[in-house]
Every structure is written in structure tokens, then in C-alpha cells.
Amino acid sequence: MTATEGSTKSPPEPAVNTADSIEVEFHDHVRFIPQREREEREQLDMAIREQVLARIQKQGEAIGKQMAPL
């Protein structure tokens, strides 16, 4: 009977571990979504900053050319 009891206890433990691992994977996934959104937002912010800085630089050069003759 000891072997039967041991066999009976062994299957529920993997089931609990499977449920726990599914829960852990779910929580990781839920945490991953905002992290990915944050990374995408940071990339977009960097692209926008680069565009704005490029425009400012072009405008500064244009103004510099206009001011040179004065």
C-alpha cells in the first residue's frame, strides 16, 4: 500500500506544478506586455527626438546663412 500511496501522491504534485508553471507563465506574459509597450514607446520617442533635432539643425543652418550677409 505504501507504493500505491506514493504513486497516488506523485501525480497530483506534477499537476500542481503544471498549474503553478502556467500561472507563472501567465504573470510573466502580463508583465511582458507593458514592458514591450514601454520599449516601443521609447523607440518612438527617440525617433521623434531625432526628427525634431534634425529640423532644428536645418532651421539653424538656414538662419545662419540668412544672418551671414547682415
Greatest alpha-carbon pair distance for the chain in Å reads 103
**Mean of the pLDDT values across residues 9-18?**
54
Helices marked H in 1-70: 2-9, 12-67
Range of the domain at 46: 2-67
**Mean of the pLDDT values across residues 13-30?**
77
Number of folded domains that form the chain: 1
**45-66 per-position pLDDT tens digit:** 999 999 999 999 999 999 999 9
Q: What is the predicted pLDDT for the residue at 18?
A: 82
Q: Mean pLDDT score of the chain, rounded to an integer? A: 82
> CA torsion sign, 47 to 52 to 56 to 58?
positive
Answer whether residue 43 shows pLDDT above 90.
yes
